[in-house]
Structure 1
Amino acid sequence: MVEAWYMDESSEDQRKPHRLEPSRPADLELLRQLGVIYWKLDADKYENDPELEKIRKERNYSWMDIITISKEKLPNYEEKIKIFYEEHIHLDDEVRYILEGSGYFDVRDKEDKWIRIFMEKGDMVTLPAGIYHRFTLDEMNYVKAMRLFSGEPVWIAYNRPAEHLDARVQYVKFLTQTA
């Protein structure tokens, strides 16, 4: 089961857990209220997994690729890690399925506080269009992930502030409806 918690305000290495003291967990229901959807799948059979195929069909995730994020595999690694960790939104959902390794997705809650979601092998998450988020590796410095999109991939990240974008406006409207 995925683990999530509210983050501290420390400027220490972004790859550390950054748990509040005392710890303040964030459960799946809270994530669901933010529009974050989570699945636990068998990453060892991702190439022929009927459960993954069912999710892809139901949610129209028609495009897929696999990315490996490590110093050895990702060109311009240091630059990319900094870019991934800048707070941003997308105009489309961001869908990631962890096949190997681990890392963190951070999302903002309704009060603009950071929640850190620890993602490891078998975890799949959909972050809704318009949610402020960021990604970083953990101290293992390695993740292999499947990226899924509805239609053609869109790689544009809009750094904060992005309140004027329709995806953000729609997301804020969604938050007020789930309050």
Structure 2
Amino acid sequence: MVEVYYHDNKDTIDDFTEPHNSGVPVSLDTLSKIGVFYRQIKTQEDLDNLATQRDYKNRDEVNLNLAAFNNDINAYNAKMQQFYKEHYHEDEEIRYIVDGEGYFDVRDENDKWIRTKLNKYDLLILPAGIYHRFTLTDDLKYVRAVRLFKDEPKWEAINRDTGKESEVRLSYAQSIVV
């Protein structure tokens, strides 16, 4: 079963791929209340059905591991730090884990980090406008994932430290006000 818990907020630039489990679990219902959708999908047919139901027209596959960076640890670390920088997108972010594992962190309605450890067969959909970040686990340092898109694949990360809050971000924030 998927692991979901509050992040301990004790990570550093050197250890953000560690579990950082605060010991406080988070329910899938809590994720749902902030617009995050989780499902375990074990077959290609079920993935295709979900894509049809949610009107996803395009997909691609991403492989993240040290070998993808020609075993250049500096390039690998730079990419992991880029993914770990807090950001949002103006489109949903959909990831289906084909193999490997990784952590998705999302902000809850009180601006606390919730960490979700995804493994093979886990699918996570983040709503447009939610602040999040991603990293591989320190144990495996590998993930192969399918990314689904409603339209042409695009990937614009709007980093929180820029202060830019688009209509999509403002709409999302308003939808989860406590």
Q: Distance in 1 between matches of 2:134 and 2:95?
A: 11
Conserved 8 A contact 1:68-1:74: no
Matches within 5 A, 1:101-120: 101-120=100-119
- TM-score, normalising length from structure 1? 0.90
Number of residue pairs aligned between Structure 1 and Structure 2: 170
Q: Distance in 2 between matches of 1:15 and 1:134?
A: 11
Q: Distance in 1 between matches of 2:11 and 2:48?
A: 40
Q: Distance in 1 between matches of 2:9 and 2:39?
A: 28
Show the counterpart of 1:62. 57
Residue identity in the other structure for 1:65:
D
Residue identity in the other structure for 2:9:
E
Task: Quote the offset at 1:77 in angstroms.
Answer: 2.4
Among all aligned residue pairs of Structure 1 and Structure 2, give the percentage whose two residues are the same amino acid.
41
Show the counterpart of 1:96. 95
Task: Quote the offset at 1:108 in angstroms.
Answer: 0.4
Structure 1 vs Structure 2 CA RMSD: 1.3
Conserved 8 A contact 2:11-2:20: no
Residue identity in the other structure for 2:24:
R
Matches within 5 A, 1:40-51: 40-42=40-42, 45=43, 49-51=44-46
Matches within 5 A, 1:1-179: 1-12=1-12, 13-20=15-22, 23-42=23-42, 45=43, 49-74=44-69, 76-139=75-138, 140-161=140-161, 162=163, 164-176=165-177, 179=178
Q: Structure 2, unaligned stretches of length 5 or more?
A: none
Q: Structure 1, unaligned stretches of length 5 or more?
A: none
Listed one character per residue, the Cα deviations across residues 39-89 of structure 1 (whole Å, up to 9, x for unaligned) are: 1011xx4xxx22111110111111101110001024642221111000000
Task: Quote the offset at 1:164 in angstroms.
Answer: 2.4
Q: Distance in 2 between matches of 1:92 and 1:98?
A: 19
Residue identity in the other structure for 2:173:
V
- TM-score, normalising length from structure 2? 0.91
Question: Could you say which structure has the higher strand fraction?
Answer: 2
Q: Distance in 1 between matches of 2:50 and 2:69?
A: 28
Q: Distance in 1 between matches of 2:144 and 2:62?
A: 6
Stretches (4+) displaced over 3 A? none
